[in-house]
Each structure stands twice: as structure tokens, then as C-alpha cells.
Amino acid sequence: MAFSWLDNQVSAELLKLAESVAKATGSLLMNRPDTFTLTEKSSAVDFATQMDQQAEKLIVEKLLAARPDDGIVAEEGSARESKSGITWVIDPIDGTVNYLYGLPGWNISIAAKDKDGVVVGVVYAPTLNGFWSAIRSQGATYNGKKIKCNDPVPLDRALIATGFAYDLTLRIGQGQAMANLLPKIRDLRRNGAAAVDLCYVAMGAVDAYFEASLKEWDLAAGGLIATEAGAKISGRDGGTPDGELVLCAGPALHAALFPLL
């Protein structure tokens, strides 16, 4: 168990703030516009909408109104050095493609980290009626109820979620990995939002999740929720280098899957 200079009261206050901001952002995003403005980022399949930007603005404004000395790391570019020792890690819409197409599973991911790592995390998926949260060393919840990952799970009974990189050259290798893995497992799911996939592992809705090229904001909140629910995650701390694989599963399945990926 990692030592933290934060006491339980401060952690609870951070979580309460993250939860309220996530809910407010969910209300904004559920008013889905009729038309979208797309801004290309790293490739033609990696983009932001005007709603990503509006959601990030709302989150940052609400967090800093409550805690003006905190730092910010966010997907759409908001950045601020911390004076308090707390930095918020934000993905305003995780699963932007789902949001654009009107598919479920997109979510708001908000985490706070201190010098020891992520201390609180919230993932809110309004279209799934799903609200996941965790405080470091205090467990994880789904809609207010304690959750645990599935463990142990035999490889041939494992339901596994995955996602594909924005880097199109990486997708060739990922497709080959899928082909090698499919005969060995129960089945595969591609849900389209990393934070929810991590939370699905946490609550036992899937047995494992893996993906390459995730960023810190993809992992911060969902990663804490999964680990607090008993899962093991490789390649998550502080974001990941390009191409690095992230694997999240119960300890037994993690050990079986890692050599295959």
C-alpha cells in the first residue's frame, strides 16, 4: 500500500468534487448537437469535436473554481502547473467516435494525482447509466456498490476487451495479435472507450482489457478503479510511450495473457 500525504478527508473531498463535475459535464454532453465541427489531431481518425472542447472547458473551470492552486493535464490541451501538490488528469470525452456516431459507452474521465500517483478517479458514462469511482487504498464502486474483478479466470473462458491505435501502422500488428488470440479465449469485445473498458474489468463485465498507445488521461481514473477492484495493470503509470501495450486483468489471467500479447 503506497503512503500518501493526503488524509482521508481530503481524498473524500477530491472525490466529491470529481463526481459533481463529472455529472455536470454529463448533463452538458447529453444535449448532443445536430452537427459537429471536427478538428483533426494525430491522424484522420484521431479528432476532437466542439463538444470535447466545451466539456474540457467546463471541467477545468469548475475544478479550478473550487481548487485554484491545483494543476491540470487534459486531452484537449489544457495544462497548468500545480501549486498545491494535486494535479487533475482529464479526458472530457473518452470515446469521441462513439459520441460522434451516437453509440453508447462514451464517458467523462476525471482523476486527481499527488506525488505518489493517482489518488481519486471517476468515470461517468451517462448512456450506460454507469458511474464508477475509487479512492486509493479504499476500494472501487459502481453506482455506489463495491466491485471486484473476476479472478481467477481460465484463458479459454476469458471475455476480453480491446481497442485499436490511432497510428494506422500499428493496426497491422494489432490485427495479427487478434487472429492469434481468438482461438484461445471465449470471445473478444471492442467497446470503443478505454476508461469504460478498464471499469468493466473492475466490475467483472469483461475479464481483461488490452490496448496499445494509451495516454495518461485514458488510464488515470479507470486504472485506479481497476486496481482498487483487484486487477493488475501493466504499462499504466504516468502515461505510456508510443506503442506500449497496456494490459488489465485479474492477476491469474494477466499472467496467462501477457506472454501472448
Q: What is the pLDDT of residues 70-100, one digit of tens each?
A: 999 999 999 999 999 999 999 999 999 999 9
Cα separation, 168 vs 14, whole angstroms = 38
Domain boundaries, the chain: 8-146, 155-260
- pLDDT tier at 168, thresholds 50, 70, 90: confident
Residue 210: per-residue pLDDT: 94
Return the CATH class of domain 8-146.
alpha beta
Q: Where are the alpha helices (DSSP H) in the chain?
A: 8-30, 50-66, 96-101, 170-181, 194-203, 216-228, 251-257
Q: What is the pLDDT of residues 32-71, one digit of tens each?
A: 999 999 887 766 666 799 999 999 999 999 999 999 999 9
Q: 3-class DSSP state for residue 213?
A: coil
Residue 173: per-residue pLDDT: 80
The CATH number of the domain covering residues in 155-260: 3.40.190.80
Residue 241: per-residue pLDDT: 52
Q: 3-class DSSP state for residue 190?
A: coil
- What are the C-alpha distances in Å from 241 to residues 92, 109, 216? 21, 20, 10
- Which region among 103-117, 206-220, 235-249 has the lowest average model confidence (pLDDT)? 235-249
